[in-house]
Amino acid sequence: MRAWSDSPFEAVTPLREVAARGTVIAAENGESEIVYECADHPGWLVKLYRPGRPAEAAGVLERLIALPAGMPAADRALVDRSVCWPVTRVVDGARTAGVVIARAPAEFSVPMRMISGSTTVRLLEVDHLVQSDPAFFARRGWEAPGPAERLSVARNLAAVGALLERHDVVYGDWSYANAFWTRRSGRVFVIDVDSCGLSDRPWVESKMWDDPRVAPGDRLTVRTDRYKLAVLILRCLTGVRGPDPEAAHAALPSAVRDGPLGRALHRSLTAADPALRPPVADLLPLLEAAHPDQFVRVPAPRPPHSPVTGTPPERATPPEHRPPPPEHRTAPPIGGAFRPERLLPVVIVACLAVLVLLAGAGLVASLFA
C-alpha cells in the first residue's frame, strides 16, 4: 500500500520524471486527461489535468500537498489509511500539468460477475453500496451488504469528513463515485482530494447533491460539505437513492430517525442557515454510538396475495352460506329413531278406511230390510 507518509517524491516533480506510462487507469474522466500508473514507481498514479485549469489551483494544490506534515499523528495516520492525498505537483515548465497520488489498495477491488457470465475485477465504489434491491448484488455475484457494513462505511466517511473540516479543507464533491469501500470492515478510500479547496473552493455542479442553500456559481465551504456528506451518509445507511435526500432519511428505522443521529442528519438537510448545520465532528460520535441492530428493518406483513409466491388468497364463504362446523352438525340416527310426526298420515288413512267400511255396511243393511 502507498501512502502520503512514504512518498518517494519531492513537493514538485518535472513531468519527464514520471512520463513513463504503465497501466492506464482512466482517460478523459472529469478534470483529468489521463490517469496512469507510473512505470518507474509502481503503486503511484500520475493524474494529468485537462488544459484550462484555474490558475489559483496550483497554489492551493501546493499547500494541500504540504498539509499532512503539520497534522497531529492521528490525523496523519487517517490520511495514510483512508485518503488518496496528493504527494507531489507535476509540472511541465511553469505549468502545473498534474499530480501524483497513491493507487487504491487491492482490498478495495472485488471480483464481479458480468452479464456474459465471465468475471472481472472492479473497484468497489460507494455507488455499489447505495442500492436497496437485493437483485442488484445477486446479478454481480455479491452478497447484499448488511447493516454492520453500511454503518461502518458511514462512520469511516464521517471520520474523513471530520478530518477535512478540522483543517478547513473543502471537499465540495461528495458523491457516489468519489470513495471506495471494502466488504466486511467497511474501510473507505476517498479520492480526488487534489481538487479540494482551502477555506473555500469554486462551485461544483453535481445533480442530486447540490446544496439547496447555495446558488450555482457561489463558492463552496465546509458548511456546504456538511450538507453533501449528510446526504451521502444517509444513502449509505439506507441504500435509498433519488433526487430527494429526505426519502433516504424517511427510510431510517423510526428509532434511529427520531433519535439524536436522525435529528442531526435532518438538520444537516433542512437548516435554513448553513451555519446551523451540525459539524461533522458532532455527527461522528453519534454514528460511533449507533449499533447495527438499530438499522435492521422489520419486514412488513406479506399481503394475502403474495407477489412472490403468486398464490391467490383463499376466498371466504359468506356467513349465510357456510355449512355449520362439524361439531354442530346433527349426526344421523343409528338404526332409526321414533318420530311421532310420521304417524299422523297413517292415522288419517285408517280413519277414512273405517268410515268407508261403515258407510258400506249401512248400504247393505238397507237393501235387505
Residues 318-337 pLDDT 10s: 444 444 444 444 444 334 44
CA angle, 280 as apex, 279 and 283 as ends, to 5°? 100
Alpha-helical regions (H) of the chain: 56-66, 73-82, 134-139, 147-166, 222-238, 245-250, 254-257, 260-270, 280-289, 344-367
Closest CA relative to residue 11, chosen from 103, 87, 97, 94: 87
For residues 54 and 324, give the distance between their C-alpha atoms in angstroms, rounded to a whole number.
Answer: 87
With cell 503503486, the residue in question is 43
* pLDDT for residue 315 is more than 70: no
pLDDT of 31: 87
Residue-wise pLDDT for 241-290, tens only, equals: 999 999 999 999 999 999 999 999 999 999 999 999 999 999 999 999 99
* pLDDT for residue 70 is more than 50: yes
Q: Which residues contact 249 (CB under 8 A, 6 or more apart)?
A: 234, 257, 262, 265, 266, 269
Which strand (E) or helix (H) includes residue 119? strand 119-123
pLDDT of 298: 54
* pLDDT for residue 312 is more than 80: no
- 263 dihedral zone (left: phi>0; alpha: psi -120 to 50; beta): alpha
Split at pLDDT 50, 70, 90, the class of 207 is confident
* pLDDT for residue 150 is more than 60: yes
For residues 162 and 263, give the distance between their C-alpha atoms in angstroms, rounded to a whole number.
Answer: 18
Residue-wise pLDDT for 104-129, tens only, equals: 999 999 999 999 999 999 999 999 99
- Where b means 16+ CB within 10 Å and e means fewer, 203-213 reads bbeeeebbbeb
3-state secondary structure of 319: helix
Report the range of poorest mean pLDDT among 95-99, 168-172, 202-206. 202-206
Going 25 to 157 to 3 to 204, the CA torsion angle's sign is: positive
C-alpha cell at 333: 340416527
Split at pLDDT 50, 70, 90, the class of 355 is low
pLDDT of 206: 86
pTM for the model: 0.80
* Residue-averaged pLDDT of the chain: 86
C-alpha cell at 352: 277414512
Q: Which residues, listed in sequence order, are joined to residue 46 by a DSSP beta bridge?
A: 36, 100
Report the range of poorest mean pLDDT among 73-77, 194-198, 340-344, 345-349. 340-344
pLDDT of 314: 40
